[in-house]
Copies of this chain bind each other. A is one copy, B any other.
Amino acid sequence: MVVDEEAADRLFHALADTTRRDILRRSIEGEPSVSRLAELYPMSFAAVQKHVAVLERAGLVTKTRHGREQRVRTDPDGVRRARQALDHLEALWRGRVDRMVDLLAEPAGTSGPDEPKETDR
C-alpha cells in the first residue's frame, strides 16, 4: 500500500483546516519561522505552534533550527503522498468505468445477464 491508513488519516486531517493549508502554502513560498507565521493569524502563538505540529506529524512540513528561531519548510513528499492516495481512488473509478465499458462492448448473452432483475443487493 502506498500510505498506511493511519498515515492517511493524519495527512488528510492536517489538510482539513484552512489555517493549516495556508501555513503550508506560505511554507512553500518562503521558509517562515513559527513566530512569523503566528503574526499572520488571529490566534495565539501557541495555537499556531500546534497547527505546525499537526502538519509535522502528518509529514507535510519539517522544522529546522536557524539561530534561535525554528523555520518551517514544507516537505514535497508529504503533499505527493496525499495525492497518491487520491490517485488511487481515481484509478479505482477509472477501473470501474472501464469495466462498465467492457460489459457494454460484450456481445449480447456471452456470459451472465447484466442485471438479472434485482438480484441480492
Contact = CB atoms under 8 A, between A and B. Distances in A.
A80 interface: yes
A30 B18 CA distance: 33
Contacts of A98: none
A73 B118 CA distance: 17
Given A67-B118, A90-B83, A16 B16 contact: yes
Contacts of A83: 83, 86-87, 90
Could you tell me the dominant secondary structure of chain A's interface residues?
helix
A53 B118 CA distance: 26
Interface in A63-92: 67, 69, 71, 74, 76, 79-80, 82-83, 85-87, 89-90, 92
